[in-house]
């Protein structure tokens, strides 16, 4: 028997931003960029955490989680994360896979 979520169930998705930060000369400079990006994404009601390459000055991996009442809404928000990172903060995205969790 296949599981069917009841109507009104939340749809949870995650995007992992694998980024290069060209031009960062120190961890302090990198953390400034990451902190501003996290702050912007949190204002969009997303949960955000740096989950990889924490001690590298020129790279970072951020995980962003979105919750919505539909997959379309969840994926739209996660695609917006990708655009925000690229356009607003000038980071170079190496990968940005989106996964459906629930």
pLDDT averaged over every residue in the chain: 90
The 3-state DSSP class for residue 47 equals strand
pTM of the model: 0.84
Closest CA to 61 of 72, 79, 73, 48: 48
**In order of start, what are the domains of the chain with their CATH numbers?**
16-100 (3.30.70.1120)
Cβ–Cβ under 8 Å, residues 101 and 14: yes
Confidence of residue 86 (pLDDT cuts 50, 70, 90): confident
Residue 64: count other Cβ atoms within 10 Å of its Cβ. Answer: 27
Is residue 1's pLDDT more than 70? no
């Amino acid at each position: 028997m296949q599981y069917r979520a009841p109507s009104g169930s939340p749809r949870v998705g995650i995007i992992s931003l694998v980024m290069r930060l060209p031009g960062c000369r120190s961890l302090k400079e990198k953390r400034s960029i990451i902190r501003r990006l996290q702050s912007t994404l949190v204002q969009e009601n997303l949960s955000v955490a740096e989950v990889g390459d924490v001690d590298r000055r020129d790279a970072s991996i951020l995980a962003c989680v979105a919750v919505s009442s539909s997959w379309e809404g969840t994926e739209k928000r996660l695609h917006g994360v990708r655009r925000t990172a690229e356009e607003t903060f000038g980071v170079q995205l190496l990968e940005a896979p989106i996964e459906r969790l629930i």
